[in-house]
Amino acid sequence: MKKWERYNYVLRIILYIIFFTDLFFRNKGDTTNLIIYSLILVLAISNDYLRYNFFYKRSSTIYYTSIIISIVFGGVLKFIVGGYIVIYLYIILIHIAFIKDMRVVKYLYTLNLIVIIFSSLFRIALLEGVTVIQLFRMNLLDFFMMSVALFFSTTTIFSYRALLIEKNRVEKLNKEIEKLAITKERNRVAQEIHDNLGHSLVALNMNLDVIGNMVDKEDEINEIIVKCQRLTKDSMENLRRAVYALKDENISEGLIKSVEKLTHNIVGKYNIVIKYNIDEKIEEYSPEYKNIIYTTIKESITNSIKHGKSSIVKIEIKVVDQIYMTIEDNGNGCEEIVKGNGLIGIEERAGKIKGSVRFVTEKTKGFRTEIILPIE
């Protein structure tokens, strides 16, 4: 799309140069008219520049008004100067056809067609010293052929518009199908891991428990068994996290909505209050950023409940020059931070996009996670 916009921009510059050149050669003997007509063309081009770069983002009304002004400038120049300036009106015609609101398209397109037809008719009638009706009668075939040309050009433009709309719809459906396929496959893999490897680890840990109870506590074998039990428990924990991540890291509906669902589910199960204030600008960022933030929030809430015994968790995300996120609870806190898999995972995820993480805690004063992520 950017390549098309670049070509479009270059083409407009070339056409503007042609318009000024045509204007110069048609009025080089009349300096006053040349200055006046050139000024009108400069105003038209300036209006186009503002519309392409500013008006679209501010207000639809201002944007549509800018198009009307361009039509008026083009019609005036076509009437008083003639020449290639009619191409300018055709450019606006194409531009109008791709406005999303079809009701607005009908009105502006009709206005532009009227200006194209009647500015030419009135100019020719004025030059030949006849009325428009007389001109119409004398050039009935020409008028018919011009109408046919406008009909086919209009049909072509709107067929292309329909083709683009259909293309975008198909691409959107393909993306949704791809997301559904990925989600389905992730869930299948997660279930396979859980059903096979998970059950095997649980069985292994149970057998180790039985053996541990059978051997002498002073025996060296018991020490090995204890190490094996720790290893299997760590493996089970890592497996649980992997399965949880595979199944739940799908926030295509939006980060804020996903956090809302997450907190609603947690509040329904535990006696905890979760307050959050998330800047809506965060939705503009890539799924990678939002997944990192969502997973961090989920992990932090889990730690607050499991280790901190918290009753309140506060989440705040601001987007300024960087993304600032704080997650704070009123739990037990601790004198010394011992980083387990959860905290290490938070640091690793932030580190992938060159973010920084800081953990702050004191005994009985809760736990606070501060994260800064660079703007992508």
* DSSP per-residue codes, 312-343: EEEEEEEESSEEEEEEEE-S---SS----HHH
Residue 56 within any structural domain of the chain: yes
Instruction: Provide the pLDDT for residue 54.
Output: 77
Instruction: Provide the pLDDT for residue 315.
Output: 93
Residue 258 within any structural domain of the chain: yes
Rounded-to-integer distance, Cα 202 and Cα 232, Å: 8
pLDDT of residue 362 exceeding 70, the answer is yes
Residue 335 within any structural domain of the chain: yes
Question: Where does the pLDDT of residue 191 fall: very low under 50, low under 70, confident under 90, or very high at 90 and above?
Answer: low
Domain membership of residue 54 as a residue range: 2-138
Which of 40-49, 159-168, 320-329 shows the lowest per-residue confidence on average (mean pLDDT)? 159-168
User: Contact, 146 vs 117, CB < 8 A?
Assistant: yes
Instruction: Provide the pLDDT for residue 277.
Output: 92
Rounded-to-integer distance, Cα 80 and Cα 75, Å: 9
Question: Where does the pLDDT of residue 338 fall: very low under 50, low under 70, confident under 90, or very high at 90 and above?
Answer: confident
Residue 209 within any structural domain of the chain: no
Sheet hosting strand 312-319, strand order edge to edge: 273-278, 312-319, 322-329, 367-374, 356-361
How large is the average pLDDT for residues 14-26? 87
Residue 182 within any structural domain of the chain: no
Which of 137-141, 190-194, 342-346, 349-353 shows the lowest per-residue confidence on average (mean pLDDT)? 190-194
A 10 A CB-CB count for 73 gives 23
pLDDT of residue 269 exceeding 60, the answer is yes
Instruction: Provide the pLDDT for residue 358.
Output: 92
pLDDT > 90: what percent of the chain? Answer: 8
How large is the average pLDDT for residues 352-356? 87
Beta bridge partners of 314: 275, 328
How large is the average pLDDT for residues 285-306? 84
Which of 48-62, 70-84, 204-218, 242-256 shows the lowest per-residue confidence on average (mean pLDDT)? 242-256
Residue 167 within any structural domain of the chain: no
End-of-domain residue from the set 112, 138, 164: 138
pLDDT of residue 133 exceeding 60, the answer is yes
Instruction: Provide the pLDDT for residue 324.
Output: 93
Instruction: Provide the pLDDT for residue 244.
Output: 55
pLDDT of residue 99 exceeding 60, the answer is yes
Instruction: Provide the pLDDT for residue 115.
Output: 87
Closest to 15 in 3D by CA, of 98, 95, 97: 95
How large is the average pLDDT for residues 327-340? 86
How large is the average pLDDT for residues 334-355? 84
End-of-domain residue from the set 101, 120, 138: 138
Rounded-to-integer distance, Cα 16 and Cα 10, Å: 10
> The CATH number of the domain where 366 resides is what?
3.30.565.10
Rounded-to-integer distance, Cα 101 and Cα 86, Å: 25
Question: Where does the pLDDT of residue 238 fall: very low under 50, low under 70, confident under 90, or very high at 90 and above?
Answer: low
pTM over 0.85: no
Beta bridge partners of 274: 313
pLDDT of residue 248 exceeding 80, the answer is no
Amino acid identity, residue 177? I
Instruction: Provide the pLDDT for residue 344.
Output: 86
How large is the average pLDDT for residues 187-209? 66
Residues 6+ away with beta carbon under 8 Å from 273:
267, 311, 312, 313
Phi, psi of 309 (to 5 degrees): 55, 45
- Please give the mean pLDDT across all residues of the chain: 80
pLDDT of residue 46 exceeding 80, the answer is yes
Rounded-to-integer distance, Cα 241 and Cα 228, Å: 20
The total domain count for the chain is 2
Instruction: Provide the pLDDT for residue 180.
Output: 74
Q: How far is CA 90 from the centre of its chain?
A: 32
pLDDT of residue 128 exceeding 60, the answer is yes
Rounded-to-integer distance, Cα 151 and Cα 143, Å: 12
How buried is residue 331: exposed, middle or buried, by Cβ count under 10 Å (0-12/13-18/19+)?
A: buried
End-of-domain residue from the set 78, 113, 138: 138
pLDDT of residue 249 exceeding 60, the answer is no
Longest dimension (CA), the chain: 121
Residue 356 within any structural domain of the chain: yes
Which of 230-239, 337-346, 350-359, 365-374 shows the lowest per-residue confidence on average (mean pLDDT)? 230-239
Rounded-to-integer distance, Cα 183 and Cα 117, Å: 56
- Left (φ > 0), alpha (ψ -120 to 50) or beta: where does 337 sit? beta
Question: Where does the pLDDT of residue 39 fall: very low under 50, low under 70, confident under 90, or very high at 90 and above?
Answer: very high
Element (H, E) at 361: strand 356-361
Instruction: Provide the pLDDT for residue 61.
Output: 83
Cα→Cα distances 268→145, 230, 263, 265, 312, Å: 72, 32, 8, 5, 14
Residue 227 within any structural domain of the chain: no
Closest to 359 in 3D by CA, of 316, 324, 326, 317: 326
How buried is residue 325: exposed, middle or buried, by Cβ count under 10 Å (0-12/13-18/19+)?
A: buried
